[in-house]
Amino acid sequence: MSTDLSRAQQAPARPSGALPALGDTSELSASAERRIGDRIASSIYRDPDYLDDPVLGDYLQGIWQPLMTAARARGELGPELETRFAWDVMQIRDRSVNAFALPGGYLGVHMGLIAAVSTRDELASVLAHELTHVTQRHISRLMSKQKEQMPWLVAAMILGALAASKNPELANAAITGGQAAAVQNQLNFSRDMEREADRVGFGVMSDAGFDQLGFAGMFDKLQQASRLNDNGSFPYLRSHPLTTERIAEVKGRLQLDGNTPPSRATAEAGTARTVHAMMAARARVLGGPGVDGLRPLVIEAQALPQPAVATAPLTARDAGILYGGALAASRLRDHALARSLAGRLKAATAPTRALAEPAECLALELELAAGGTTALPRLANTSSRAALLLQSRADLAMGRGLQDVSGALQNWVSNHPRDAVAWQLLATAYGQQGQTLRAIRADAESRVAQLDYGAARDRFRAAQDVIRSGRDGGAGANSYIEASIIDTRAREIDQLLREQALEEKLNR
């Protein structure tokens, strides 16, 4: 393909820390692109439609990490991009089918996409495609093409376009004339870029061990939607028009690749399908379908015939129906029904560990939602993030083993300092133990994790006020150490805020 953008054509990245050089046709440096991405991400983190569901987060990471590994092994992902970029797959509470890549290694996945795909391989094909837009520096090339535009303005336009994808009517009113065209230019990758994302993404997902048919399956879904002219619920189709050449290329790739494995029919594949059905059902409920959308899920689950034996294996479809029905019933505050549906799911999935874990987590989550504070069950395994956070919430609700909870969470955040949810739970855990300073500091760190430095500075100042007033409850002999950590962090955040203000001035 002579029109493909080869990586050899890319200009070398500028030294890190350099501000984006405008009027330069080469791509933005990785760190400049990251800073623009951070600006966009900090707005998304504050958007009520942003969500960090630990269960779906683990599911997405289980697909994302193998893709990253494969991209690294293929040489698509170099060490510089890997360390400079955020690599954050953000979840968006939106029922439409969409995924997008943003500057700096931020990606977004709508709940509607997870709910719509039939297999994790289909989801992997979309993520591999978006990952490729990032690793091939398509975004930085689009941004640096806009010579007269300041990168921050570009960031603002992308945010506007994101809002547009969520609410077309509102955004059309807000964005008019030349700006709307500019947004289109910003977000529309060229046809060559799309084909490159398909081609490289296909290789990445295959190398990562996903079923190549996932790519074709996703294309079939998009094709069906485009025939139905279903653009409203398929924004992905607007940003990724299905040209006949894209379709032909994917089909050709499947036929040409001698290694194409037959669609797997192993037990492992069956388990993966069942897990996916449960996760898709979860995404459907978390997408916020409203009462009218939740009720049919409950009715469908209630209509499932009771098996003769409780532990009889479920089809993937039935597992999804029970999972979605239980969660929907809980959202509708029918806690007894939720418990009974989750109980059926738990009994049927017990023999297979990969299925039992999500069912067990669901059962505990539903007990918590029902307001349970006594005798909440303990999860058998808390090695996953979802299980650790859920178990911590349950223990906090019961006031059980608080020291162990804060110890486990402290350990987690020291390895995952950008985990805002874990920092929040840690703040609660310290608060319940009367350790005021540590609680405020953990709260501050959760704001830092979401790039809200202003709010973080307010928290650190509050902590300094507590120290000055001598009300440093709980810190005891450690109060001196705690106070010095807080002072250091407060200074670091002040510095970040100063840099941010300076950058904005320079780019205005």
Q: Which of 13, 67, 197, 364 binds Zn ion (CB under 5 A)?
A: 197
Smallest distance from Zn ion to CB 240, Å: 5
Nearer to Zn ion, 194 or 472 (CB): 194
Neighbours of 435 (CB within 10 A): 23
CB 274 within 8 A of CB 316: yes
CA distance 217 to 124: 11
Of the ranges 92-100, 149-157, 196-204, 361-369, which one interacts with Zn ion (CB under 5 A)?
196-204
Of the ranges 12-20, 85-93, 186-194, 436-444, which one interacts with Zn ion (CB under 5 A)?
186-194
DSSP string, 365-387: HHHHHTT--SSPPPPS---SHHH
Residues paired with residue 88 on neighbouring β-strands, in sequence order: 106
| Dihedral sign of CA atoms 301, 305, 308, 314 in order | negative
Of the ranges 28-36, 187-195, 317-325, 375-383, which one interacts with Zn ion (CB under 5 A)?
187-195
CB 37 within 8 A of CB 106: yes
Nearer to Zn ion, 132 or 406 (CB): 132
Nearer to Zn ion, 143 or 386 (CB): 143
Please identify the residue of the shown chain whose CB is closest to the bound Zn ion. Answer: 197
Of 307-336, binders to Zn ion (CB under 5 A) are: none
CB 204 within 8 A of CB 128: yes
Of the ranges 157-165, 194-202, 248-256, 445-453, which one interacts with Zn ion (CB under 5 A)?
194-202
CA distance 260 to 251: 12
CA distance 388 to 383: 7
Of the ranges 191-199, 244-252, 356-364, 465-473, which one interacts with Zn ion (CB under 5 A)?
191-199
CA distance 145 to 182: 12
Nearer to Zn ion, 106 or 412 (CB): 106
Smallest distance from Zn ion to CB 132, Å: 8
Q: Does 237 bind Zn ion (CB under 5 A)?
A: no
Of the ranges 17-25, 113-121, 143-151, 195-203, which one interacts with Zn ion (CB under 5 A)?
195-203
CA distance 471 to 465: 9
Nearer to Zn ion, 32 or 197 (CB): 197
- On the 0-12 / 13-18 / 19+ scale of CB atoms within 10 A, 455 is middle
Smallest distance from Zn ion to CB 215, Å: 13
Smallest distance from Zn ion to CB 39, Å: 22
Nearer to Zn ion, 201 or 358 (CB): 201
Nearer to Zn ion, 139 or 197 (CB): 197
Smallest distance from Zn ion to CB 250, Å: 13
Smallest distance from Zn ion to CB 98, Å: 11
The CA-atom distances, in angstroms, between 353 and each of 107, 366, 382, 389 are 30, 20, 13, 19
311-332 per-residue burial string, b: 16 or more CB within 10 A, e: under 16: eeebebebbbbbbbbbbbbbbe
CA distance 241 to 245: 11
Of 14-53, binders to Zn ion (CB under 5 A) are: none
Smallest distance from Zn ion to CB 236, Å: 9
Nearer to Zn ion, 245 or 504 (CB): 245
# residues contacting Zn ion (CB under 5 A): 2
Q: What type of residue is 449?
A: A
Nearer to Zn ion, 203 or 324 (CB): 203
Nearer to Zn ion, 194 or 419 (CB): 194
- On the 0-12 / 13-18 / 19+ scale of CB atoms within 10 A, 82 is middle
Of the ranges 90-98, 193-201, 300-308, 317-325, which one interacts with Zn ion (CB under 5 A)?
193-201
CA distance 382 to 57: 15
Smallest distance from Zn ion to CB 96, Å: 16
Binding residues for Zn ion, rule: CB under 5 A, are 194, 197
